[in-house]
Amino acid sequence: MSDHPADHENGMEPVTGRGAEKERRRYFRIEDEIILFFREIAPDEIPDNRSPREFPLDSFALSARLDLLTQESRTLLRRVERESPEIGDFLKVLERKIDLIARTFLNYEANLSEQSLQRVSLSASGLSFDVDKPCAAGKVLEIKMVLQPELVGLTAYGRVVYCNKNAPDSELPYRISVDFVGLRDNDRELLIRHVVRRQLQQLRNKKRPLE
């Protein structure tokens, strides 16, 4: 895998020089399909990622937070299962119920059943995707994503790095690349885990025809 062409930010300000090269090496990109929503906002609407209270509390934030808590509880749950299988089974049921509630809220807000998947080039520090209208470099976007197949939603804020014309036979005429400039550390970790899982899955799928 190669690095995202705009992977040079890990916070509110760009990293330059050797720091930029180090950041680029940290993140890999994948070709992925996600549900994607975005809108242009003013630069002063980007929440301070050092102050979680400034980020909107909606079904996307709830989904991301619950996914993080699920990951954190896995070790404890395995320990409980070894010591008391019945309690472990009960906790698994509770986990599934909470997950169902979170997905219901996310589906209600995003109307997931009516949304189509969009191909993107995704990393933990940015993404690129096709659009129907040009978007000037420097514009700031609020981006909401639903990752597949986990159906985990998260919200990020990014700055457009470039907007290029696609080939005439492309479905959409333009492609934009966006660097994240407002992303909570927990959400970045969520993206890193997703990218790693998708990388492994894609590698396995490539190997299967040869087996």
Q: How confident is the model at residue 97 (pLDDT cuts 50, 70, 90)?
A: confident
CA–CA gap between residue 163 and residue 80 (Å, rounded)? 51
pLDDT of the residue at 53: 55
Does pTM surpass 0.85? no
Q: Per-residue pLDDT tens for 142-198?
A: 999 999 888 888 899 999 999 999 998 889 999 999 999 988 888 888 899 899 888
Closest CA to 154 of 108, 199, 111, 194: 194
What is the dihedral sign for C-alpha 55, 176, 7, 123?
positive
Q: How confident is the model at residue 27 (pLDDT cuts 50, 70, 90)?
A: low
| Token pair 């209600």: residue | 108
Cα–Cα distances in Å, from 43 out to 12, 60, 140, 157? 11, 21, 6, 10
CA–CA gap between residue 167 and residue 175 (Å, rounded)? 10
User: Token pair for residue 202?
Assistant: 């894609």
pLDDT of the residue at 101: 78
Q: How far apart are the first and last CA of the chain?
A: 22
Is 8 a residue whose pLDDT tops 50?
A: no
User: Token pair for residue 39?
Assistant: 């809108």
**Long-range Cβ contacts of 7-15 (<8 Å, 24+ apart):** 7/123, 7/125, 7/126, 7/179, 8/125, 8/179, 9/125, 9/126, 9/179, 9/180, 9/181, 10/125, 10/188, 11/49, 11/181, 12/46, 12/48, 12/49, 12/181, 12/182, 14/179
Question: In the predicted model, what is the mean pLDDT of residues 45-51?
Answer: 71
